[in-house]
Every structure is written in structure tokens, then in C-alpha cells.
Amino acid sequence: MQNQEIRTFGRRHGKKLSARKLWLMDNILPAISPKNIKKAGNLILEIGFGNGEHVRDLAHNYPDSLVVGAEPFANGVAALLSAMCDEKTNEILPEYKNIFIWPDDVRDYLRNTDSLFSQIWVLHPDPWPKARHEKRRLLSADFLTMLSTHLSRGGQIIIGTDHWEYFDWICEQIKTTKLKYSTPDLETIHTRYQEKNKAGTTAPKYIIIKK
Ligand SMILES: C[S@@+](CC[C@H](N)C(=O)[O-])C[C@H]1O[C@@H](n2cnc3c(N)ncnc32)[C@H](O)[C@@H]1O
């Protein structure tokens, strides 16, 4: 992360990782860095995947695409690795061989790649509800504009949040850019954070930005 950049995520480490998860972090994670993507193909990105349930859904639903997940929270990365790998052999399960993990700030990844994505997902970005933390919100006009430069033709950014004030704030941010967006009623996409529904709203709201 560049020094002048404001940190948009909370903690990087939670409770101590099990021996198996530590092994996966040391032995599997380096091999599935998106830096190792050589073949051309359809790319999908998920930013801030938490424990990675939706990354796995994407890998499953788009077996011919490569799915890149970015998440700086080590325990989330370890949880995804654990679910991707066979419990006995620790080998990556066949249905998850198209997953690549960037275990850090997505901005560091994006500024060093010219990859274009057909879908970029951001589900339940940290809402940073206190006014003094607003500057930590990831989905600013500048970030969304930069993100749109990584969309392939016809590609889309899909954002979901149950924090309706953040939802309105994101819409206001988009209005200050040249980006076109819609707010469709999508069926709820299930993630761990959505199930906790800390905001106490009745349903997440979605924003789609299309190139
Ligand atoms: C509220 S959680 C939601 C996790 C997951 N998407 C879900 O719905 O369960 C937001 C996640 O975004 C991650 N995050 C925040 N800033 C990020 C950044 N700059 N790059 C990548 N991930 C980031 C945080 O670490 C956190 O895990």
C-alpha cells in the first residue's frame, strides 16, 4: 500500500490460524497469485471477499473464467484457501482451480496490472459509518473511475450493500463521474457479512455500473 493512501479496511489478522491454514498460506497461496495468470481468458474480480463464499460461487458458476479475489484480512484468505483445498491432501479441489488470490489491498494489484475484467464485484464494502471515518470508504468517485478502466467492453461493476446511507453516498459519488449506473432489484446475494446484517436493514441494495 502506498503511504499516502488511506486505509480502507479494518484488521488484517484475527484469531490465530490453525496449523493447516498456516501451511496453506505458505504453500498454496504463492502459487495462485494473480501475477501468475498467463493464459488469456475471461477474468472476474471480487474485491473484499471476506471468507470467500461468493468467490467460490463465481468459480463454480463460471468454470471457464478465471476468478481473482482480493482481501487483506489474513483469516479471510485462510478461510477461502481452506474451503478450496481437499481436507486430506490439501490439493486445490478441481472446481476451484480457476481461483487466484491477491491477499492485500486491491489498489496495489490494480495499479500493477493492465488486466480487464468482465465483472467486478464489491459485496458489502466496509461502510465506515462514523463521519470522521468517511474518508476510509473505498467506493469513492476516484476509485470507481479507476475501477471502470479495468472493465472489458460490456463489462460491469456490481456493488451490494445493506448500509443504505453508504448506498446513497456511493450513488452521489457516481453522479460526480461520467459513469452510467442503475440500481436494480437483484435477488439477495448471500455472503457471511450479509447474513450478519449489522445495518439492520431489510435487504441489501445493488448498484450496477456498465461500461
Ligand atoms: C464488510 S466486509 C465484507 C466481506 C464480504 N464481501 C462479505 O460480504 O461477507 C468488507 C471487506 O472488504 C475488505 N476490504 C476493505 N478494503 C479493501 C481493499 N482496499 N482491498 C481489498 N479488500 C478490502 C475488508 O478487509 C473486509 O473483509
Helix (H, G, I), strand (E, B) or coil at 28: coil
Q: Which three cell numbers stand for residue 64?
A: 471457464
Task: For ligand 1, pick from 11, 45, 71 the residue to mutate: most ligand atoms within 8 Å of CB.
Answer: 71
Task: For ligand 1, pick from 1, 5, 7, 9 the residue to mutate: most ligand atoms within 8 Å of CB.
Answer: 9
Q: List the pLDDT tens digit at each of the 211 positions of the chain.
A: 554 689 999 999 999 999 999 999 999 999 999 999 987 789 999 999 999 999 999 999 999 999 999 999 999 999 999 999 999 999 999 999 999 999 999 999 999 999 999 999 999 999 999 989 999 999 999 999 999 999 999 999 999 999 999 999 999 999 999 999 999 999 999 899 988 888 888 889 999 999 8
- Main-chain phi, psi angles of 20, to 5 degrees: -65, -45
Apex CA 109: angle with CA 160 and CA 150, to 5°? 60
> Quick one: CA dihedral 14, 20, 23, 29, positive or negative?
negative
From the CA of 63, how far away is ligand 1's center (Å)?
24
Apex CA 66: angle with CA 140 and CA 166, to 5°? 20
Q: Measured from the CB, is residue 121 less than 6 Å from ligand 1?
A: no
- Main-chain phi, psi angles of 27, to 5 degrees: -110, -25
Domain boundaries of the chain, sorted by first residue: 19-210
From the CA of 47, how far away is ligand 1's center (Å)?
7
Q: Which three cell numbers stand for residue 102?
A: 491477491
Strand order in the sheet with 43-47: 99-102, 66-70, 43-47, 117-123, 151-161, 205-210, 180-182
From the CA of 81, how far away is ligand 1's center (Å)?
16
Nearest alpha carbon, ligand 1 atom 9: 193
CATH class entry, domain 19-210: alpha beta
Nearest alpha carbon, ligand 1 atom 13: 48
List, as one string, the DSSP characters of 58-74.
HHHH-TTSEEEEE---H
Bridge partners (DSSP) of residue 44 are 67, 119
What tens digit of pLDDT does each residue of 76-115 get? 999 999 999 999 999 999 999 999 999 999 999 999 999 9
Atom of ligand 1 nearest to the CA of 125: 10
Q: Is 126 a catalytic residue?
A: yes
Bridge partners (DSSP) of residue 121 are 46, 158
Q: What is the pTM of this model?
A: 0.96
